């Protein structure tokens, strides 16, 4: 009788101990995924911090080679004044309803930008002059790479009063 009582109290002690261990391991195993999750959470920003220096390092490159967008809207060129680095490309994209023909000043000869001129539009040089050489429909674009430094005025050949300026540094 005494022995069985003891056995019972020993077994309850063990159950309590196992229960305590369970709680402890439960706590530990609960904390561990949190610490893993926090590691993952701290690991997640690190790729972003890895990629952001990559973005930063690509910025100086972008200054040299990226494409700048100028929208051709029904109210004109947007933005109408831009400053870029030599070697950068400007993409003139028509997002308006009317046809647009971006071209170097001075209308109608288009020869302000070195090497350009509307007379070259029908020649093999048409792809390398600051002149779309045709009206762009909505959604169409004309891209030109500015290698000459200076302030270059341009206009819409189909609406010469619509003007813009590209300053190449
Ligand atoms: Cu013109």
Say yes or no: domain 63-168 is CATH 3.60.21.10. no
3-state secondary structure of 43: helix
Q: How do the domains of the chain map onto residue ranges?
A: 2-43, 63-168
The rounded distance, in Å, linking the Cα atoms of 50 and 61 is 17
pLDDT exceeds 70 at position 54: no
pTM as predicted: 0.62
130 CA distance to ligand 1 middle (Å): 11
- At residue 12 the predicted structure's pLDDT band, cuts being 50, 70 and 90, is low
pLDDT exceeds 60 at position 22: no
Average pLDDT on 41-55 reads 45
153 CA distance to ligand 1 middle (Å): 11
51 CA distance to ligand 1 middle (Å): 44
Of residues 123 and 11, more confidently modeled: 123
DSSP state of 128: G
Q: What is the mean pLDDT of the chain?
A: 78
**What does the block give as tokens for 78?**
């947007």
102 CA distance to ligand 1 middle (Å): 8
Strand order in the sheet with 76-78: 76-78, 67-73, 88-94, 141-146
The rounded distance, in Å, linking the Cα atoms of 34 and 153 is 60
Strand partners, 83: 167
87 CA distance to ligand 1 middle (Å): 24
Average pLDDT on 25-52 reads 46
């Amino acid at each position: 009788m005494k022995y069985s009582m003891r056995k019972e109290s020993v077994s309850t002690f063990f159950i309590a101990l196992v229960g305590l261990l369970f709680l402890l391991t439960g706590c530990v195993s609960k904390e561990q995924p949190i610490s893993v999750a926090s590691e993952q959470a701290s690991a997640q920003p690190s790729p972003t911090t890895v990629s952001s220096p990559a973005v930063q390092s690509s910025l100086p490159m972008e200054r040299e080679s990226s494409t700048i967008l100028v929208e051709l809207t029904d109210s004109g060129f947007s933005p109408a004044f831009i400053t870029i680095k030599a070697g950068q490309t400007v993409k003139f994209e028509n997002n308006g309803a009317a046809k647009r023909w971006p071209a170097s000043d001075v209308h109608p000869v288009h020869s302000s930008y070195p090497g350009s001129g509307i007379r070259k539009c029908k020649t093999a040089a048409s792809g390398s002059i600051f002149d779309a050489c045709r009206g762009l429909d909505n959604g169409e674009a004309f891209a030109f790479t500015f290698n000459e430094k200076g302030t270059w005025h341009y206009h819409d050949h189909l609406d010469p009063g619509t003007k813009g300026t590209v300053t190449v540094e």
